[in-house]
Amino acid sequence: MPNSGIEVLFEGSNFERLLGGLLVTIEISFVSIVIGTVLGVLMGLLRTVNSRPLRLVLRLYLEAFRIIPILVWLYVVHFSFSPMLHIDISGGATAILVFSLWGAAEIGDIVRGALESMPKHQVESGHALGLSRGQLYRYILIPQAVRRMLPGSINLATRIVKTTSLVVLIGVIEVVKIGQQIIELGVIKAPNASFWVYGFIFILYFIVCYPLSRLSRRFERKWQN
């Protein structure tokens, strides 16, 4: 292991810059998750509507994201949409667009699953207790739906955070890109920089994702029954 080189992380403003890059990654993820959740809940509700064509279209929409890699969708939007439609769309906007649409598809599937698995007798026994419609949702249906959806949704959030690493490939200046800049600048002074920089970014992602996946697993265990 090179005993020289780790200083590169703390030279000048490198450390702050890397964290700043991480913040860009987190921002893109966060905005995408928020938009994706809103659209996804809507989509999940639509997928339980009793209309075959609608359900088919929404299913195909989901499968498009499950079959074609996300990086391909990033490329498609990045390379085609802007020149074709004469809209100048930044890498960050491209990423948020793709991740939001992907998130919506997956959240929609989670919401649909939760809604469809809601047992009918829960509603009936709620009625039998004399609960009003509002109370039924407030005390019985929504808490159960949340329990069913939360682990999968947090898991999806982890996946989205990990996938944001790809946005460097469509020119977004985020943590990996800043890492590359630091490595290039220090090519003579710190020839081993790439080991430390990429190792550090590896750990940064772990620090962000690990708590999320722990949380998801905790909820999963807690609400298994």
Residue 179 one-letter amino acid: G
Q: Are 73 and 32 in contact (CB under 8 A)?
A: no
Q: Are 171 and 92 in contact (CB under 8 A)?
A: no
Q: Given the rule CB under 8 A, which residues bind other proteins? A: 1-2, 5, 63, 66-69, 71-72, 75-76, 79-80, 83-84, 158, 162-166, 168-169, 176, 183, 191-192, 194-199, 201-202, 205-206, 209-210, 213
Residue 147 or 162 having the CB closest to other proteins? 162
Residue 144 or 192 having the CB closest to other proteins? 192
Residue 59 or 147 having the CB closest to other proteins? 59
Q: Are 128 and 186 in contact (CB under 8 A)?
A: no
Q: CB of 138: closest distance to other proteins in angstroms?
A: 35
Nearest to 62 by CA among 116, 114, 106, 115: 106
Residue 99 or 196 having the CB closest to other proteins? 196
Q: What CA–CA distance (Å, rounded) separates 225 from 178?
A: 45
Contacting residues for 10 by C-beta, under 8 A, at least 6 apart: none
Q: CB of 176: closest distance to other proteins in angstroms?
A: 7
Residue 8 or 107 having the CB closest to other proteins? 8
Q: CB of 159: closest distance to other proteins in angstroms?
A: 10
Q: CB of 131: closest distance to other proteins in angstroms?
A: 35
Question: Distance between the two ends of the chain, CA-based, in angstroms?
Answer: 48
Q: CB of 162: closest distance to other proteins in angstroms?
A: 4
Separation in Å, CA 141 to CA 23, 105, 133: 36, 22, 10
